[in-house]
Amino acid sequence: MKIVEILSPKGIIANLRGKGKPEVISELVDVLPLGDLDKTKVVQVLLDRERLGSTGIGDGVAIPHGKLPGLGSIMAAFGRSLKGVEFDSLDGNPAHLFFVLLAPEDSAGLHLKALARISRLFKDGRFRRGLMAAKDEEEIYRLFLEEDEKYG
Protein backbone atom coordinates (compact mmCIF):
# COMPACT_ATOMS: atom_id res chain seq x y z
CA MET A 1 0.00 0.00 0.00
CA LYS A 2 1.29 3.44 -0.91
CA ILE A 3 0.77 6.33 1.47
CA VAL A 4 -0.43 8.67 -1.28
CA GLU A 5 -3.31 6.25 -1.94
CA ILE A 6 -4.80 7.35 1.40
CA LEU A 7 -3.21 10.79 2.00
CA SER A 8 -3.98 13.79 -0.19
CA PRO A 9 -2.22 17.17 -0.22
CA LYS A 10 -5.34 18.67 1.41
CA GLY A 11 -4.88 16.26 4.31
CA ILE A 12 -1.58 17.79 5.42
CA ILE A 13 -1.01 20.50 8.03
CA ALA A 14 2.58 21.81 8.11
CA ASN A 15 2.15 23.78 11.32
CA LEU A 16 -0.28 22.31 13.84
CA ARG A 17 -1.51 24.82 16.42
CA GLY A 18 -2.91 22.34 18.97
CA LYS A 19 -1.11 22.16 22.31
CA GLY A 20 -2.58 18.88 23.56
CA LYS A 21 -3.73 15.49 22.35
CA PRO A 22 -7.44 16.37 21.88
CA GLU A 23 -6.66 19.63 20.06
CA VAL A 24 -4.17 18.02 17.68
CA ILE A 25 -6.51 15.14 16.89
CA SER A 26 -9.40 17.56 16.28
CA GLU A 27 -7.26 19.75 14.03
CA LEU A 28 -6.22 16.75 11.94
CA VAL A 29 -9.78 15.40 11.68
CA ASP A 30 -10.75 18.82 10.25
CA VAL A 31 -8.77 18.09 7.06
CA LEU A 32 -10.19 14.60 6.47
CA PRO A 33 -12.87 14.15 3.78
CA LEU A 34 -15.49 12.91 6.24
CA GLY A 35 -18.56 13.46 4.08
CA ASP A 36 -21.65 12.76 6.23
CA LEU A 37 -19.67 11.45 9.21
CA ASP A 38 -19.93 13.45 12.42
CA LYS A 39 -16.57 15.05 13.29
CA THR A 40 -17.28 14.76 17.02
CA LYS A 41 -17.78 10.99 16.72
CA VAL A 42 -14.59 10.62 14.67
CA VAL A 43 -12.56 12.55 17.24
CA GLN A 44 -14.13 10.45 20.02
CA VAL A 45 -13.15 7.18 18.28
CA LEU A 46 -9.53 8.38 18.09
CA LEU A 47 -9.49 9.59 21.71
CA ASP A 48 -11.09 6.32 22.89
CA ARG A 49 -8.26 4.46 21.13
CA GLU A 50 -5.73 6.70 22.92
CA ARG A 51 -7.23 5.69 26.27
CA LEU A 52 -6.37 2.05 25.49
CA GLY A 53 -2.74 3.04 25.07
CA SER A 54 -0.94 5.99 23.56
CA THR A 55 -0.26 5.91 19.84
CA GLY A 56 2.84 8.01 20.48
CA ILE A 57 5.39 5.48 19.25
CA GLY A 58 8.49 7.52 20.09
CA ASP A 59 11.09 9.37 18.02
CA GLY A 60 8.68 12.32 17.86
CA VAL A 61 5.98 10.28 16.05
CA ALA A 62 2.35 9.55 16.90
CA ILE A 63 -0.07 7.51 14.79
CA PRO A 64 -3.59 8.04 16.16
CA HIS A 65 -5.87 5.52 14.48
CA GLY A 66 -9.29 3.99 14.70
CA LYS A 67 -12.06 2.13 12.92
CA LEU A 68 -15.40 3.67 12.08
CA PRO A 69 -18.73 2.22 11.02
CA GLY A 70 -20.01 3.88 7.85
CA LEU A 71 -16.59 4.83 6.55
CA GLY A 72 -16.21 3.87 2.90
CA SER A 73 -12.44 3.56 2.67
CA ILE A 74 -9.21 4.10 4.58
CA MET A 75 -8.25 7.75 4.91
CA ALA A 76 -5.41 9.64 6.50
CA ALA A 77 -4.17 13.05 7.56
CA PHE A 78 -0.68 14.20 8.46
CA GLY A 79 0.37 17.07 10.66
CA ARG A 80 3.59 18.52 11.99
CA SER A 81 4.08 20.44 15.23
CA LEU A 82 7.33 22.36 15.25
CA LYS A 83 7.07 22.93 19.03
CA GLY A 84 6.03 19.38 19.85
CA VAL A 85 3.03 18.11 21.80
CA GLU A 86 2.96 15.96 24.93
CA PHE A 87 1.36 12.75 23.66
CA ASP A 88 2.23 10.17 26.33
CA SER A 89 4.77 8.73 23.90
CA LEU A 90 6.59 5.50 24.70
CA ASP A 91 9.92 7.32 24.99
CA GLY A 92 8.46 10.14 27.13
CA ASN A 93 9.31 12.81 24.55
CA PRO A 94 6.91 15.19 22.77
CA ALA A 95 5.50 14.18 19.40
CA HIS A 96 6.13 16.38 16.36
CA LEU A 97 4.88 14.21 13.49
CA PHE A 98 1.29 12.98 13.54
CA PHE A 99 -0.30 10.55 11.11
CA VAL A 100 -4.03 9.97 11.67
CA LEU A 101 -5.41 6.81 10.11
CA LEU A 102 -9.11 5.95 9.90
CA ALA A 103 -10.39 2.67 8.52
CA PRO A 104 -13.80 1.12 7.91
CA GLU A 105 -14.96 -1.08 10.78
CA ASP A 106 -14.64 -4.29 8.75
CA SER A 107 -11.19 -3.70 7.23
CA ALA A 108 -8.81 -5.29 9.73
CA GLY A 109 -6.33 -6.51 7.10
CA LEU A 110 -6.04 -3.21 5.25
CA HIS A 111 -5.94 -1.26 8.48
CA LEU A 112 -3.04 -3.34 9.81
CA LYS A 113 -1.22 -3.18 6.48
CA ALA A 114 -1.52 0.62 6.46
CA LEU A 115 -0.33 0.88 10.08
CA ALA A 116 2.66 -1.33 9.32
CA ARG A 117 3.59 0.75 6.27
CA ILE A 118 3.32 4.02 8.21
CA SER A 119 5.34 2.64 11.14
CA ARG A 120 8.06 1.41 8.80
CA LEU A 121 8.22 4.78 7.08
CA PHE A 122 8.63 6.70 10.34
CA LYS A 123 11.41 4.40 11.59
CA ASP A 124 13.65 6.14 9.02
CA GLY A 125 15.39 9.01 10.81
CA ARG A 126 16.30 10.67 7.51
CA PHE A 127 12.64 10.73 6.50
CA ARG A 128 11.58 12.18 9.88
CA ARG A 129 14.25 14.89 9.65
CA GLY A 130 13.12 15.71 6.11
CA LEU A 131 9.52 16.14 7.27
CA MET A 132 10.64 18.42 10.10
CA ALA A 133 12.72 20.56 7.71
CA ALA A 134 10.09 20.81 4.94
CA LYS A 135 8.94 24.37 4.32
CA ASP A 136 5.26 23.71 3.61
CA GLU A 137 2.50 21.17 2.89
CA GLU A 138 3.57 20.81 -0.74
CA GLU A 139 7.10 19.80 0.21
CA ILE A 140 5.79 17.38 2.86
CA TYR A 141 3.56 15.70 0.26
CA ARG A 142 6.50 15.47 -2.15
CA LEU A 143 8.52 13.65 0.54
CA PHE A 144 5.71 11.09 0.92
CA LEU A 145 5.62 10.67 -2.88
CA GLU A 146 9.39 10.07 -2.97
CA GLU A 147 9.18 7.48 -0.20
CA ASP A 148 6.33 5.72 -1.99
CA GLU A 149 8.50 5.47 -5.13
CA LYS A 150 11.13 3.59 -3.12
CA TYR A 151 8.44 1.22 -1.87
CA GLY A 152 7.56 0.12 -5.37
Residue 35 has pLDDT above 90, yes or no: no
Domains of the chain from N-terminus onward: 11-151 (3.40.930.10)
The model's pLDDT over 99-126, given as tens digits with 9 standing for 90+, comes to 999 999 988 788 889 999 999 999 999 9
Q: Give the mean model confidence (pLDDT) for residues 1-20.
A: 95
Distances in whole angstroms, Cα of residue 144 to Cα of each of 4, 19, 95, 149: 7, 25, 19, 9
Q: What pLDDT is stored for residue 139 in this prediction?
A: 98
Per-residue confidence band for 152, with pLDDT thresholds at 50, 70 and 90: low
| Cα dihedral 119, 66, 73, 18 in deg (nearest 10) | -80
Which percentage of the chain shows pLDDT scores above 70?
99
In three-state secondary structure terms, 135 is coil
The model's pLDDT over 51-97, given as tens digits with 9 standing for 90+, comes to 999 999 999 999 999 999 888 899 999 999 999 999 999 999 999 99
Mean pLDDT, all residues of the chain: 94
Q: Active site includes 65?
A: yes
Q: Which of 11, 56, 65, 122 is catalytic?
A: 65
In three-state secondary structure terms, 107 is coil
